[in-house]
Amino acid sequence: MDVNQFDYDLPPEMIAQTPVEPRHASRLMVVNRQTGQITHHTFADIVDMLQPGDILAANDTRVIPARLFGRKESGGSVEILLLKQLDDLQWETLVGGKRLRPGVTVQLDSPGAAPFSLTIIEDLGEARRLVEFSQPISSFLDEVGHTPLPPYIHTILADGERYQTVFSRIDGSAAAPTAGLHFSPEVLLDLRAKGVTLEYLTLHIGLDTFKPVTVEQVQDHAIHREYAHLSAAAAQRINQAKLHGGRLVAVGTTAVRTLETAALRSAGLTGSLKEASQLEAGLCPWKPVAAIEEETDLYIYPGFQFRAVDVMLTNFHLPKSTLLMLVSAFAGPELIREAYAAAIAEKYRFYSFGDAMLIV
């Protein structure tokens, strides 16, 4: 499958630079997979779109202040994005700067905090580096780190909490699960009053969010592993609600990957899930979800058979991204192309601080 099938042209002015206020004032496109109908709403209308008994599954990960700045001993400036903590001192990172080879030491900008330095330990390919800090940095990130906004956002964010969901609670992500940014406490209370249940899962967003698809064929892309967790109690409640006719509504692509990983584990698939889309024959089209705590490498693109998720809430994604491929797998590439064309024509706001799409 050619990656160019997931390309489109977006006017730069449609890339949202700031979040709307209040959160639920963003726009909401509703796409019906059965009829192909596309309708336009505000996000607060999601209360009317969901039904009593539906299960809203949301990612409770929290973005850490993962963006660090510093200088090499030679004076050259360096930018570091923390991706994954390996132990007290070592992290997998993305780095920006020249000649960042193993052995190079970087002195971090740490005003008001103890001096910190890091040493490049290993070149992991492209901009990825394994680094070791001079002392544990986790408890000092609020003092030395910065919110790692995506590179297409150029406006300074006045309130860092606007790049967190209202249900964020577990530190670990390098980027926000942006479909969840639209929920306000008012909307969540209205959904609860309607009989929609809220379940939490965790997927810490890491390297693959920042890695462009550079290969020509979709299946040749190397997707990276991200930590995913679904508790046994949450899995049991989701399965019970599904058996009673409730729809499983995934809040964002991260929730989709976690839930579908949990369903594949329930189906008995073990080991790497990267090629799971090639292992569909003979499997029941619906599977309960199992409790999981693992680093998932599930790669979803058209041809994948969904077993857990019935409804998806998502933002509008970058061209040629794995996120756009996942959404296209759920709704069909033709319908998603039509929806994106409609969003551009209707001047929706795109990407992290942009508007939302509900696929039913």
Asked if residue 172 and residue 55 are part of one domain, the reply reads: yes
For residue 278, the model assigns a pLDDT of: 52
Length of the chain: 360
Residue 309: inside a domain, yes or no?
yes
Look up residue 292 and give its two tokens.
């999981």
Asked if residue 219 and residue 138 are part of one domain, the reply reads: no
For residue 30, the model assigns a pLDDT of: 98
pLDDT digits (tens, 9 = 90+) for 76-92: 999 999 988 999 999 99
Question: Backbone phi, then psi, for 188, in 5-degree steps?
Answer: -65, -40
For residue 212, the model assigns a pLDDT of: 72
pLDDT digits (tens, 9 = 90+) for 37-88: 999 999 999 999 999 999 999 999 999 999 999 999 889 999 999 988 999 9
Asked if residue 71 and residue 47 are part of one domain, the reply reads: no
Mean per-residue pLDDT over the chain, rounded: 93
Asked if pLDDT for residue 280 goes beyond 60, the answer is no
Asked if residue 252 and residue 133 are part of one domain, the reply reads: no
Asked if residue 165 and residue 38 are part of one domain, the reply reads: yes
Asked if residue 120 and residue 59 are part of one domain, the reply reads: no
Question: Backbone phi, then psi, for 59, in 5-degree steps?
Answer: -85, 120
For residue 268, the model assigns a pLDDT of: 82
pLDDT digits (tens, 9 = 90+) for 111-138: 766 788 999 999 998 889 999 999 999 8
pLDDT band with cut points at 50, 70 and 90 for residue 151:
confident
Q: Which of 111, 144, 177 is the last residue of a domain?
A: 144
Asked if pLDDT for residue 281 goes beyond 70, the answer is no
Asked if residue 45 and residue 73 are part of one domain, the reply reads: no
For residue 283, the model assigns a pLDDT of: 52
- CA angle (140, 142, 147) in 5-degree steps: 130
Asked if residue 104 and residue 40 are part of one domain, the reply reads: no
Asked if pLDDT for residue 169 goes beyond 70, the answer is yes
Residue 150: inside a domain, yes or no?
no
Residue 241: inside a domain, yes or no?
yes
Establish how many alpha carbons lie within 13 A of residue 11's alpha carbon, considering only the half-sphere containing its beta carbon.
Answer: 10
The closest alpha carbon to 257, from 228, 285, 282, belongs to 228
Asked if pLDDT for residue 284 goes beyond 60, the answer is no
Asked if pLDDT for residue 344 goes beyond 90, the answer is yes
Instruction: Please give the average per-residue pLDDT across 318-341, as a whole number.
Output: 97
pLDDT digits (tens, 9 = 90+) for 188-247: 999 999 999 999 999 999 866 666 788 999 999 988 889 999 999 999 999 999 999 999
The pTM of this model reads 0.91
- Residue 98's domain spans which residues? 67-144
Asked if residue 263 and residue 222 are part of one domain, the reply reads: yes
For residue 291, the model assigns a pLDDT of: 98
Residue 281: inside a domain, yes or no?
yes
Instruction: Please give the average per-residue pLDDT across 285-313, as a whole number.
Output: 93
Residue 184: inside a domain, yes or no?
yes
pLDDT band with cut points at 50, 70 and 90 for residue 248:
very high
CATH assignment of the domain containing 167: 3.40.1780.10
pLDDT band with cut points at 50, 70 and 90 for residue 276:
low
Question: Number of structural domains, the chain?
Answer: 2
